[in-house]
Amino acid sequence: MEKYRFVDTKDKDLADLNRYMEKIENPPSSPPTKPIGKSFITDTGIKAMTIAGVLAMSNLVNMFESDHVKFRNPTFSEANLEDYNRNIEKPFNDYINTLSELTSHKVNMTRDEVVNRLTSFKFLNQGWDGYGAIPLEAKSTANAIRFIYFLNDRIVEGINDVYPTPNGTVSFVWKNENNERLSLEIGNNTLSYYVKLSSQEPVFFNNIEINANEANTISDTIEAI
């Protein structure tokens, strides 16, 4: 059997990951499938998900060591967007896509469901990702909930994903079938977002106030995607 070995992280992390993968490659005897709700995930599927998830988390190390990471009040640029897509968003999406193929997944969320998901992030502790991520900032959570109530139901239900970032902020993603997107991050005092259309270079908007007028502008952009 091919052995998975990770060589793109610190020595201690490398050792931890390799020990972890030894357990994955040599699991104790167990039934071939495990029920999750109405879905059944095979042992091979679990291994694929775990590898994808570990790879995504190991890549976060590079982001924490990068000068591009801005804690608590997010900013986007051409440079850090490339880092973000390579080290966080693509591995994260690969992991989620694998998971989605194996389990039932609800795409559209109501406003209450989005708020419930945001409040559930408060249970994240220091280092929740295994690599020193800070807990979600209470003020960032409050700002994200306030922002959600500035949006109409159609925009809220069009959210493709909402998740905490390792630097204590909240990210929202809207995208269409052509993978054109608006990716938004909310911090303690401001929000930042970028728009990527298939025919254009990304356009960045940083240090934006969190208010109804800005929410309307962002909503208009989302509607146009």
- Residues 145-163: what's their mean pLDDT? 96
Q: What is the pLDDT of residue 107?
A: 59
Q: Name the region of 11 (left: φ>0; alpha: ψ -120 to 50; beta: rest).
A: alpha
For 29-68, write each residue's pLDDT tens digit: 444 433 333 333 344 444 444 444 444 444 444 444 444 3
Reference 76, options 138, 169, 7; nearest CA is 169
Q: What is the pLDDT of residue 84?
A: 58
Q: What is the pLDDT of residue 22?
A: 55
Q: What is the pLDDT of residue 105?
A: 39
CA distances from 40 to 28, 32, 91, 95, 97 (A): 19, 10, 23, 17, 16
CA distances from 223 to 35, 153, 181, 216 (A): 39, 12, 11, 10
Judge whether 170 and 142 are in contact, CB under 8 Å: no
- Residues 101-106: what's their mean pLDDT? 39
pTM of the model: 0.56
Q: What is the pLDDT of residue 67?
A: 41
